Amino acid sequence: MRAAVVHEYKSPIVIEEIPDPVGSDEGVILTVEACGVCRSDWHGWQGEWPGFTASLPHVFGHEFVGTVLEAGKNVQEFRVGDRVIVPFTVGCGKCEYCRRGESNVCENIAMPGFSYDGGFARLTHVPNADLNLVRLPDELAFADAAGMGCRFMTAYHGVTTIGNVRPGDWVSIYGAGGVGLSATQIASSAGANVIIVDITDDKLDLAKRLGAVRTVNSTKDDPVEAIQDITKGGADVSIDALGIAQTVTNSVRSVRRKGSAVQIGMTPEGRNGQVPLTINDVVSNEISYRGSFGMPAVEFPAMLNQVATSKLRPGDLVTKHIGLDGVNQSMNDMTTFNTLGVSIITDYEH
Ligand SMILES: [Zn+2]
Ligand SMILES: [Zn+2]
């Protein structure tokens, strides 16, 4: 099959023929129909997340949808031809977290495109299919749905389950990339007032079209001051969708007393990443600082109900359809932050 293979970190990704994946009794082989190129792929390609990523050579791609090509003999819920989403947080089904529906923090988590080869290839194997696959509503085109495998679902879990965003809340969002833009649409749809912070006016304009009521360009204005001013005391919930030291700190400083700071962006330094926090403010203002990682499969029905009726529109974030050959260009664009919205691989022949 045709695949985009990383042989060396930070070096051009090689488009080549590699052997087809091998199936398993509990798993499926999927024909990948569309796969987003996410900043986490870029971090992996940079070699920044050794704790998360398999050894080289490796096929990245963790934000994909596909059609079941082959189902293992013990798979009950899915058949050949089914259209499915693969949440990138694939649980084992056996640990105490999986047993209570929190498969996104599984003790034995396996992430397609990180722990094993992923969606930058025509075919891929997904283990534990019954637990992890989610059926894709017929109304949804593959290209519009791919984002639900990573960035859109990650934003949904962060805004709803972790952030507990309520109608009328002020929500500040740092970073107008795929997660930040998704969170903008989701929080706005839930009735919140979103203030989004970025350094690029094009991205802020796109965020406005997705529902943000105010934008802050942090190269021109101090974002914490601007948010404190607009909200008269701070956001009810702030989301850091980037993970660099400055946005982590600023996001926490943007929160009002008793508010919540939700951390979605991971630091570039993998498991050893350390970022300074304004601890005395966190303590004396009783601020909740919470991590949010992917989304367990059990939370999909609530999100899909809103997507199937177009209340939520992950397809609105998609700005580019590319071929497998376009992966290098996408990675290079991420290096220079020269991206707008979400790029999706839809053509595996070119
Ligand atoms: Zn991702
Ligand atoms: Zn588990």
The whole-chain average pLDDT of the chain stands at 94
More confident residue, 273 or 32: 32
160 Cα–ligand 2 center, Å: 22
pLDDT at 270: 61
More confident call, 174 vs 91: 174
Q: State in Å: Cα 280 to ligand 1 middle.
A: 33
Residue 256 scores a pLDDT above 90: yes
Please say if the pLDDT value at position 269 is more than 70: no
Counting ligands in written order, the one closest to the CA of 111 is: 1
Residue 52: pLDDT above 80?
Answer: no
Q: What residue spans of the chain are helical by DSSP H?
A: 39-45, 96-99, 129-132, 142-145, 151-157, 178-189, 201-209, 223-231, 245-253, 279-284, 300-308, 327-335
How much is the average pLDDT of 126-139?
91
pLDDT at 332 over 80: yes
Tell how far the Cα of 201 is from the centroid of ligand 1, in angstroms: 23
Which residues touch 331 (CB under 8 Å, ≥6 apart)?
13, 37, 41, 42, 45
Give CA–CA dist 306/157, Å, rounded.
14
Residue 311, CA distances (Å) to 124, 140, 188, 289, 306 in order: 31, 13, 11, 29, 5
157-170 tens-digit pLDDT: 999 999 999 999 99
pLDDT grade for 253, boundaries at 50, 70 and 90? very high
pLDDT for the residue 273: 77
Least confident of 20-24, 47-51, 70-74, 278-282: 47-51
CA of 114 to the centre of ligand 2 (A): 17
Domain boundaries, given as residue ranges, for the chain: 2-150+295-347, 152-291
pLDDT value at 44 more than 80: yes
Residue 23 Cα to ligand 2 midpoint, Å, equals 20
Q: What is the gyration radius of the CA atoms in the chain, in angstroms?
A: 19
Residue 40 alpha carbon to ligand 1 centre in Å: 5
pLDDT for the residue 49:
77
Report how far residue 70's alpha carbon sits from residue 89's, in angstroms, rounded to the nearest whole number. 21
- 153/136 Cα distance (integer angstroms): 13
The token pair at 35 is: 């796969």
pLDDT band at 271 (very low <50, low <70, confident <90, very high): low
Q: What are the structure tokens assigned to 23, written together?
A: 């199936």
pLDDT one-digit tens code per residue, 333-347: 999 988 999 999 999
Architecture of the structural domain at 2-150+295-347: Alpha-Beta Complex (3.90)
pLDDT in the model for residue 314: 95
Mean pLDDT of 244-260: 96
Which numbered ligand comes closest to the C-alpha of 148?
Answer: 1
pLDDT at 185: 98
Contact yes or no for 89/106 (Cβ under 8 A): yes
| Chain centre distance of CA 55 | 22
Look at residue 272 and tell me whether its pLDDT is greater than 80.
no
Q: How far is the CA of 100 from the centre of ligand 1 (A)?
A: 24
pTM of the model: 0.95
Question: How far is the centre of ligand 2, averaged over its atoms, from the C-alpha of 227 (Å)?
Answer: 39
Could you say which architecture CATH assigns to the domain 152-291?
3-Layer(aba) Sandwich (3.40)
